[in-house]
């Protein structure tokens, strides 16, 4: 009986040593890591505060996340123009999720940012990776052709940087 008790005690002590101590998990260090952590926990005001620095320094993921916060009013500040600014900066760097958001933002006739030329531009960029958007592109092409604006839309410069599939929260929020 004593041997059984010692065996159980040894087994219990080794199993306790294998259990991870969650209180000692490594905490995020960079502003971007803190921002992602806050965004994941739906603490959008904190995420907004952490994102400004990296976004101003040119981090396309931070710019995209700021755009999303402003676009959907996640930190109680809904501002389509600020969303457009940050999403455009990220999209011009090739951030795919930002390009997708801009395509739908410009296509939405109910927003002050409605612009079928820019919508066509961004849909033409993302349709290669998202063939489900081909119908949107074709509808915009017809609209622009009927207004004599298709050549203008086709002449807009492409993003200089390669497509970058970074952080993508688009699945959490409905495309407009």
Residue 169 has pLDDT above 90, yes or no: no
Rounded distance between C-alpha atoms, residue 125 and residue 103, angstroms = 9
**pLDDT tens, 111-131?**
899 999 999 999 999 998 899
30-165: CATH number: 1.25.40.10
Band of the pLDDT at 15, cuts 50, 70, 90? Answer: very low
DSSP structure class, residue 79: -
Those residues whose C-beta lies under 8 Å from the C-beta of residue 165, and which sit 6 or more positions away, are 96, 97
- Mean pLDDT, residues 157-161: 79
Residue 26 has pLDDT above 60, yes or no: no
- Mean pLDDT, residues 43-65: 95
Those residues whose C-beta lies under 8 Å from the C-beta of residue 89, and which sit 6 or more positions away, are 55, 58, 60, 63
Band of the pLDDT at 159, cuts 50, 70, 90? Answer: confident
Rounded distance between C-alpha atoms, residue 42 and residue 86, angstroms = 20
Of residues 168 and 3, more confidence is placed in: 168
Domain ranges in the chain? 30-165
Q: What angle do CA 111, 103, 79 make, to 5 degrees?
A: 40
Rounded distance between C-alpha atoms, residue 127 and residue 141, angstroms = 13
């Amino acid at each position: 009986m004593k041997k059984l008790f010692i065996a159980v005690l040894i087994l219990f002590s080794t199993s306790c040593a294998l259990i991870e101590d969650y209180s000692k998990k490594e905490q995020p260090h960079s502003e971007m890591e803190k921002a992602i952590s806050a965004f994941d926990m739906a603490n959008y005001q904190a995420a907004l505060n952490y994102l400004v620095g990296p976004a101003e320094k040119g981090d396309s993921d931070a710019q995209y996340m700021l755009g999303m916060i402003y676009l959907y009013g996640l930190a109680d500040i809904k501002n389509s123009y600020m969303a457009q600014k940050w999403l455009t900066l990220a999209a011009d760097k090739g951030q795919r999720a930002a390009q997708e958001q801009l395509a739908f933002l410009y296509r939405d006739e109910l927003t002050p940012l409605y612009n079928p030329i820019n919508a066509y531009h961004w849909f033409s960029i993302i349709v290669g990776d998202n063939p489900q958007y081909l119908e949107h592109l074709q509808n915009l092409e017809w609209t622009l052709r009927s207004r004599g604006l298709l050549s203008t839309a086709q002449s807009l410069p492409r993003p200089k940087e390669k497509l970058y599939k970074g952080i993508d929260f688009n699945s959490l929020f409905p495309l407009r």
